Structures are given as C-alpha cells and as structure tokens.
Amino acid sequence: MNILGIETSCDETSIGIVDGDGRVLANVIATQIDLHARYGGIVPEVASRQHVLDIRPVCEQAIEDAGLDWGDIDAVAATHGPGLAGSLIVGLNFSKGLSAALGVPFIGVNHMDGHVYGAWARTEDHDLEPFQELVGEQPIMCLVVSGGHTELVLLEGHGKFRLLGETRDDAAGEAFDKVARVLGLRYPGGPEIQRVAEGAPETDPFPRAWMRGTDEFSFSGLKTAVLTRARELGIYPPNGVDGGADPDVVAGLAKAFQDSVVDVLVTKTTAAAKRENCAGIVLVGGVAANGPLRQTLTDKSPLPVAIPPFKLCTDNGAMIAMSGLVNFRNGRRDDWDLDVIPSLRIGTSALV
Ligand code: KG4
Ligand code: ZN
C-alpha cells in the first residue's frame, strides 16, 4: 500500500509518499522562502500563485523518487487546514483531481495532526516504533511548535488526540520571525536568531509568560518587551543603510529572547508530561529545528524525548501522507466537497 500526501498550507509545496509500514519513499519540498524573504514575511497571494506553478512538477518528482507508477498509489491525502486559505485550496483541489483521476480514495488531513504523525514516519535514521508500541498504554506528549502554532497535544491512542493548550496570541515561530525583523535580521527569523545568539554577551533576561495553572502559552508580551528594549537602545527603528545596530547588542537581545522562549516551552512541556503520566515527549514543527530548544528539552526531560529529522519537522508532504495512512487504516474516506478548514492564521507578514 502507498499513500501520497500533499501539503500546501503555507509557503512550502510538498508531496510525500509513505508505504503501508510508514516508510518514507519520497518527500519532495519546494520552498518559497527566498520569494517571501524580501517582504520580511509570507505574502499569501504570492504563496498561492507559486503553489500553482510548483505542484505538478513536485508531484511528478515524488512519483519518480519513490520509483512508483501512478497506479501504485492507493489513496491521496491533503492538508485541508489550518493554514492560508488560498494556499490550501491549491493542494486540496489538486488532490481531489488526482484521486478522481486515479480512482482512489481522498482523505483530508488536519495540518497539526500531520505534524504529530510526521514523527512516526520512518526514514533510514529515524524510527519511532518503540514509542509507537507504548501508545494506548501510556499517552505521549507532543509539543508542536511552528510559524503558525504552538500546541501541547496529548496522543492518547492512535488517531486520538487531546489538545491540552495552545498559544493565546503569537506562535513561537511567529515570535521568532517578528523579533528577527525588529533586530534587522532576515526572514525566516528562527535560524537567524539562533545563529546570532551563539556566543552572545550576557544581557539582562526578558520576562517569561508562564500562564500558570494552564497548558497555554503567550509570546506577544515577550515580543513587545524586545521591541521596547530595542527602542530604548536606539536600534529600532533601524537607521542607516545597514540598520546601524551594534552586532553585540543584537546578539544579546536575540539570545535573551531565545532563552525566554526555550525556558517556557521546556518547563511547561516537561511539567505537563509528568502530570499526564506520559511515556515520552515528541517535539515537532519548524521551531523543533532550534538547537538550544532540542538540547534543553533533551537535558531537562526525565522522560525519553524524540525529535524527527529536520525534513520531517518543518512542513512536508510525508507527514501528511503518514497521517493519511493512519486515517486510511481507521477507515476514513472523505467526500470531494470537503472544504478548507476556516483559519484565522494571518501568516508571518502581519505587522509587529
Ligand atoms: O513548521 P514550519 O516549517 O511551518 C509552519 O507551519 O509554520 O515552521 C516554520 C517556523 C518559522 O517561524 C521559522 O522561523 C521557525 O519555524 N524556525 C526556527 C528555526 N528554524 C525554523 N525557529 C527557531 N530556531 C530555528 N532554528
Ligand atoms: Zn506546519
């Protein structure tokens, strides 16, 4: 059995194929990062147009990489939300057309379920089978941290998720992207902040928003704290051709910001995992690429921590195929009138 998964919720056109055992046969990703970098964030209209251009060649490449024929595909899965509506529509309609042409079932996948199940897709250097066996006996805590979401999800059994808490305002990745802009760094901000924060001088810490008594998060106050201090230090708004900011000041602010985000994510995730008597913790989403976050979570967690390879952490088609496989096995089939999940996500192009 082979499931083809299509992801177009944001700025990646990606198509992956997994076999019946969840092995990744192909995972082609066409990223639009360079296209949006000049605007400092994602421009939804530009994103949807680029998906239209990329989706067919990406699909053909995926079939070729997997060494399959069209007739070897048993179901087509696609993200139907949450995400940018115009981008979702491209992948969703393409997948419906493909499933009709191939005469196979079509399955709509929730993007966040996809992120969680992406961790169970198998590659040469990644196999969560030992975790998989535990599902059902003991839950697994999943921290999903991306540009659009920050969620603590309890995986109680296969296909059985419970959302414990999410961000009340900005997602962690969104905060990275917006703070990077304040500091005069390029988009996407996460990798840039991590890069400049390395070896940064000690700086006064920023506050932590603990949201005590809940599993929720908030990052907009932290973002405003960085903005306020950048103003006080005279590096925002930027002046001069190069922004004119002292690199040590920028590095110090970047590190203090990153420390605050990592501290809150790690402390709250490990506490929730302990409370829910979890067997382990899974970290997914684009922000899972963050070195200090990976290291701190692994060091501080009393439970085993699993973090998939980078290509399965950021938006990708294999994770949608994997979620499609789990749903397919559970008997799920969707009608072609399945629509895009309404989404409030405005993307990282929103003003600081
Ligand atoms: O999951 P993803 O690829 O797309 C969404 O669904 O949003 O996540 C993208 C986000 C961006 O906000 C980006 O800045 C962040 O992941 N990111 C990072 C790092 N690499 C990517 N954040 C912190 N540190 C990184 N190294
Ligand atoms: Zn995502």
Buried b (16+ CB within 10 A) or exposed e, 315-340: bbbbbbbbbbbbbbeeebebeeeeeb
160-166 β-sheet, strand order: 160-166, 150-157, 140-145, 280-284, 305-306
d(CA 279, CA 140): 6
**Domain-wise residue ranges, the chain:** 2-125+310-346, 134-307
Taking the CA of residue 189 as reference, the ligand 1 atom at the shortest distance is 14
Amino acid at 211: M
- Nearest alpha carbon, ligand 1 atom 2: 286
- State the pLDDT at residue 130: 57
- Model pLDDT, residue 149: 87
Q: Which atom of ligand 1 is nearest to the CA of 315?
A: 3
Q: Which CATH superfamily is domain 134-307 in?
A: ATPase, nucleotide binding domain (3.30.420.40)
Question: Of 315, 329, 327, 311, which Cα lies nearest the Cα of 77?
Answer: 327
Ligand in nearest proximity to the CA of 146: 1
pLDDT score of 127: 84
Task: Tell me which of 146, 186, 222, 264 to substitute to probe ligand 1's pocket, judged by most ligand atoms within 8 Å of the beta carbon.
Answer: 146
pLDDT for res 39: 85
82 touches 341 (CB < 8 A):
yes
Q: Which ligand is nearest to the CA of 79?
A: 2
Asked if 115 and 319 count as a contact pair (C-beta separation under 8 A), the reply is yes
The pLDDT, as a whole number, for residue 347 is 44
- Nearest to 90, CA basis, from 2, 29, 14: 14
Residue to mutate, 10, 79, 87, 176, ligand 1, most ligand atoms under 8 Å from C-beta:
176
Tell me whether the CATH fold assigned to 2-125+310-346 matches the one assigned to 134-307: yes
Query: Which residue's alpha carbon is at the smallest distance from atom 16 of ligand 1?
Result: 286
Between the CA of 147 and the centroid of ligand 1 the distance, in Å, is: 5
Cα of 144 vs centre of ligand 2, distance in Å, is 9
Residue whose CA lies nearest to ligand 1 atom number 18: 190
Ligand 1 probe mutation, 8, 313, 314, most atoms within 8 A of CB: 314
Ligand nearest 180 Cα, by number?
A: 1
- Tens digit of pLDDT at every position of the chain (352 positions): 999 999 999 999 999 999 999 999 999 999 998 999 888 788 999 999 999 999 999 999 999 999 999 999 999 999 999 899 999 999 999 999 999 999 999 999 999 889 988 998 999 988 887 556 555 678 999 999 998 889 999 998 777 889 999 999 999 999 999 999 999 998 889 999 999 999 999 999 999 999 999 999 999 999 999 999 999 999 998 876 566 788 999 999 999 999 999 999 999 999 999 999 999 999 999 999 999 999 999 999 999 999 999 889 999 999 999 999 999 998 999 998 899 986 644 444 333 3
pLDDT of the residue at 349: 38
Residue 118 φ/ψ, nearest 5 degrees: -55, -30
Alpha-carbon 15 to chain mean position: 16
Atom of ligand 1 nearest to the CA of 11: 4
Q: Which atom of ligand 1 is nearest to the CA of 187?
A: 14
CATH architecture assignment, domain 2-125+310-346:
2-Layer Sandwich (3.30)
Residues with CB under 6 A from ligand 1: 10, 146-148, 173, 176-177, 188-191, 194, 285-287, 289-290, 314-315
Tell me, in angstroms, the distance from the centre of ligand 2 to residue 240's CA: 35
Strand-pairing partners, residue 331, are none
Closest atom of ligand 1 relative to the 172 alpha carbon: 12
Nearest CA to ligand 1 atom 22: 190
Quick one: pLDDT at residue 134?
A: 52
What the block records as the tokens of 157 is 């059994």
Tell me the CA–centroid distance for residue 87 and ligand 2, in Å. 13
Q: Which ligand does the CA of 293 lie closest to?
A: 1
Burial (0-12, 13-18, 19+ Cβ within 10 Å), 266: buried
